[in-house]
Amino acid sequence: MSTGFRLDSYLKRIGFSGVTSPDFSTLCALHAAHVNAIPFESLDPLLRRPINLDLVAIQEKLVDFSRGGYCYEQNALFRAALEAIGFSVTGLGGRVRWMSPPGSPLGPKLHMMLKVDLPNAPYLVDVGFGVCVNDAPLKLEPEIEQRTAMGTYKLTKVDGLMLLSAKQPKGWRDMYVFDLEPQLQSDYDLGSWFASTNPILPFTSTLIIERVTSDRRYKLMNRTLTIEARDGKVINQSTIENQTELQKILEDTFAVKPPVPIEEVFARISN
């Protein structure tokens, strides 16, 4: 991955003006600011546009061009920021379980997240799990419920792996399983290519955009906009009827500028 990360530009993008130190309070503040300012979004795979994981390209897209991105872009950007500040960060890979029936075989590693080592404990850090974006670091400690501003999470040991679950209105829902083996950039390149091009995966057919504030979670799935309170409690749900409505929601709710005319985006989600 190319060098030349611009920390000042990133901090301005997420609206962070505090002192940056490699400590827990800074980590939490950066995490919350990132998911509020830079939404998870899957426009490029939906539009059949290639994903470039070079750090320069990621900065241009997510920092300079008012875009969001999916896990490989989001967590690569966040990792670069943390390392520039002085945090000790390890890139990890996960196997997504969100839509998998209980007991079904594990799929490939198609998710990127981070381990951040602090003096008191290691933390799981993930700003890029679309449909249930984490809003805070989680201590890498199993069998305890961890409450954040917008969710409740739990890590469980299962068959030698760690399982992350999120509390939802109907109970706990599995997010992904992972181990602590460091991933290579080539692992991410392959996973990203597969996730963004394979027609059996959601990104090529479903627009997914998500932004998390301190008290609301905004989720757009094709033409359905859902607003949630903590732990996935639905406050409001509405259907986008036309491209004008879509344009307004992208601008006002997610602050995203699509890379193509809005007509092309709406045509993809209207079939």
Catalytic residue positions? 71, 111, 126
**Contact between 247 and 254 (Cβ < 8 Å):** no
Name 67's Cβ contacts closer than 8 Å, sequence gap at least 6: 41, 43, 61, 256, 257, 259
Please give the torsion angle defined by the CA atoms of residues 196, 134, 88 and 143, in that order, rounded to the nearest 10 degrees.
-120
CA 60 distance to own-chain centroid: 18
Report yes or no: 216 and 227 within 8 Å, Cβ to Cβ: yes
Closest CA to 29 of 125, 110, 97: 125
Is the sign of the CA dihedral 185, 189, 195, 198 positive or negative?
negative
